[in-house]
């Protein structure tokens, strides 16, 4: 097996301060990497030269390389990242609002960004509608490989280090199946001396591993939770998501009820709407019932077809009808814009394109 140099991105500031003495160096290094965006140890000017040389011998900075990049008409940019062992995975930059400048060039409305990141190469969960599932599972990403996706995307788009970004774990993989590294990445993201992304701007999306939801909740990190529900009864959910045999809808809702969440926030339920399968008002009715008593919001997602996909995109009429029913019954509900549809922005799709 190839032996690689360690990457500095794999370490929390506390861990770094144990390794590199004196301990205040960790804070300086964090600043150089995550706020000043340096690309070499030599640029870390306030570190003594011998330390810079030592670090250069033992560590690399980023463990990722950008292999491909596709820009969509709506402004979202999808990245294919290569790991050092030759595997690849993807992340997407989703600009949420356009930057508007006045005639003087002053920004009158600032842009907002969400970065959608991967937690694994491939996935074990095997959902019937998901391209990532088709490849099977390859490996967990390390904390550094998760963190690097955000940093590389910020750098590549000249997004200032103090600009707020949101993180969603909605790329490839099941984050709660790689809990240890995901939690470490969340801690690194949150560090005020680093990327300084508040946990309330980080959303972990899961296919519903109830016992892991419980574990994440017990850590009380302050992150937001999104549940990929997609069906309103166990029979249908088992067909779409075989994991439902191990963790059924009731067990997921139970875990959600016990998840610590900011008083002003809600748990997001993602509902992939598939033509003639779960797009009817009867399903909407059941969904309202299921979510009764939970501080929930629903995000309806258009199924995004791919070559030979077994399902179809729902009609706009059915989608709006579904949304209207939920809203009329007091459930907050948004429809996920088809961001990057022309670059196939649903998870796994750029990856697949590059392979064929
Ligand atoms: N494994 C986690 C997070 C990654 S999946 C989870 O399942 O929640 C990210 C999102 O992409 C999920 O909500 C999933 O439903 C959605 N997705 C997968 N395939 C899709 C497709 N073909 N069209 C639209 N969304 C899709
Ligand atoms: Fe894995 Fe999520 Fe895709 Fe299901 S939808 S196979 S859990 S990445």
At 98 the pLDDT is 63
Radius of gyration of the chain (CA): 21
Write out pLDDT tens, residues 16-30: 999 999 999 999 999
Question: Does 39 lie in the same domain as 161?
Answer: no
- Number of structural domains in the chain: 2
Please state the pTM of the whole predicted model.
0.93
Nearest ligand to the C-alpha atom of residue 135: 2
Domain assignment present for 283: yes
At 356 the pLDDT is 37
Q: What is the Å distance from ligand 2's center to 132 Cα?
A: 7
What domain range is 164 assigned to? 74-355
Write out pLDDT tens, residues 41-59: 999 999 999 999 999 999 9
Domain assignment present for 105: yes
Write out pLDDT tens, residues 82-132: 999 999 999 999 987 666 666 776 666 666 899 999 999 999 999 999 988
Helix axes 143-156, 179-190, angle to 10 degrees: 40
CATH number where 267 lies: 3.20.20.70
Confidence at 346, pLDDT banded by 50, 70, 90:
low
CATH number where 47 lies: 1.10.150.530
Q: Among the atoms of ligand 1, which is closest to the Cα of residue 116? A: 9
Question: Does 143 lie in the same domain as 287?
Answer: yes
Best of 346, 348, 350, 352 to mutate for ligand 1, by most ligand atoms within 8 A of CB? 346
Confidence at 78, pLDDT banded by 50, 70, 90:
very high
The residues annotated as belonging to the active site are 90, 347
Question: Does 112 lie in the same domain as 245?
Answer: yes
Q: Is 174 in the pocket of ligand 1 (CB under 6 A)?
A: yes
Q: Three-state DSSP class for 307?
A: coil
Question: Does 265 lie in the same domain as 311?
Answer: yes
Question: Does 236 lie in the same domain as 141?
Answer: yes
Question: Does 277 lie in the same domain as 136?
Answer: yes
At 74 the pLDDT is 79
Domain assignment present for 69: no
Mean pLDDT of the chain: 92
Whether the pLDDT of residue 349 is over 60: the answer is no
Give the closest residue (by CA) to ligand 1 atom 22.
Answer: 304
Domain assignment present for 49: yes
Question: Does 237 lie in the same domain as 177?
Answer: yes
Best of 126, 256, 301 to mutate for ligand 1, by most ligand atoms within 8 A of CB? 301
Domain assignment present for 85: yes
Q: Is 81 in the pocket of ligand 1 (CB under 6 A)?
A: no
Tokens 């979510």 found at: 291
Do residues 59 and 6 make contact, with C-beta atoms less than 8 angstroms apart? yes
Rounded CA separation 182/147 (Å):
9
Q: What is the Å distance from ligand 2's center to 238 Cα?
A: 13
Neighbours of 277 (CB within 10 A): 19
> What would the mean pLDDT of 251-271 be, rounded to a whole number?
94
Question: Does 134 lie in the same domain as 54?
Answer: no
> What would the mean pLDDT of 5-9 be, rounded to a whole number?
95
Question: Does 291 lie in the same domain as 173?
Answer: yes
Whether the pLDDT of residue 65 is over 70: the answer is yes
Burial profile 107-133: b = 16 or more Cβ within 10 angstroms, e = fewer? eeeeeebbbbbbbbbbbebebebbbbb
Tokens 């059941």 found at: 286
Q: pLDDT: is 133 or 79 the higher one?
A: 79
Domain assignment present for 267: yes
Rounded CA separation 295/225 (Å):
12
Question: Does 94 lie in the same domain as 120?
Answer: yes
Question: Does 40 lie in the same domain as 154?
Answer: no
Q: Among the atoms of ligand 2, which is closest to the Cα of residue 123? A: 1
Residue among 40, 8, 38, 43 at smallest CA distance from 26: 8
Do residues 322 and 279 make contact, with C-beta atoms less than 8 angstroms apart? yes
């Amino acid at each position: 097996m190839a032996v690689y140099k360690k990457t500095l991105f794999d370490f929390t500031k506390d861990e770094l301060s144990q390794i590199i003495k004196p301990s205040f160096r960790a804070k300086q290094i964090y600043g150089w990497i995550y706020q000043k965006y340096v690309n070499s140890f030599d640029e870390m000017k306030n570190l003594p030269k011998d330390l810079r040389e030592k670090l250069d011998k033992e560590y690399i900075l980023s463990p990722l390389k950008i292999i491909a990049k596709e820009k969509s008409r709506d402004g979202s940019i999808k990245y294919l990242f290569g790991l050092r062992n030759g595997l690849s995975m993807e992340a997407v930059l989703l600009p949420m609002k356009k930057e508007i400048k006045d005639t003087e060039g002053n920004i009158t409305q600032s842009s907002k960004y969400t970065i959608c990141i991967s937690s694994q190469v491939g996935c074990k969960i095997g959902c019937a509608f998901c391209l990532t599932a088709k490849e099977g599972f390859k490996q967990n990403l390390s904390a550094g490989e998760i963190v690097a996706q955000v940093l590389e995307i910020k750098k590549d788009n000249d997004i200032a280090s103090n600009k707020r970004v949101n993180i969603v774990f909605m790329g490839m993989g099941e984050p709660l199946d790689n809990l240890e590294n995901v939690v470490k990445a969340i801690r690194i993201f949150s560090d005020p001396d680093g990327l300084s992304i508040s946990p309330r701007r980080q959303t972990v999306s899961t296919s519903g591993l109830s016992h892991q939801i419980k574990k994440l909740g017990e850590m009380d990190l302050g992150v937001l939770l999104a549940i990929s529900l997609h069906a309103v009864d166990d029979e249908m959910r088992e067909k779409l998501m075989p994991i439902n045999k191990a963790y059924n809808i009731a067990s997921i809702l139970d875990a959600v009820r016990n998840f610590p969440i900011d008083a002003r926030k809600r748990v997001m339920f993602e509902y992939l709407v598939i033509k003639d399968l779960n797009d009817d008002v009867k399903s909407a009715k059941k969904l309202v019932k299921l979510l009764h008593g939970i501080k929930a919001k629903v995000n309806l997602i258009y199924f995004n077809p791919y070559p030979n996909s077994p399902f179809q995109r729902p009609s706009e009429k059915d989608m709006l009808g579904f949304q209207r029913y939920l809203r009329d019954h007091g459930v907050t509900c948004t429809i996920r814009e088809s961001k990057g549809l022309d670059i196939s922005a649903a998870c796994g799709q750029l990856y697949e394109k590059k392979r064929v």
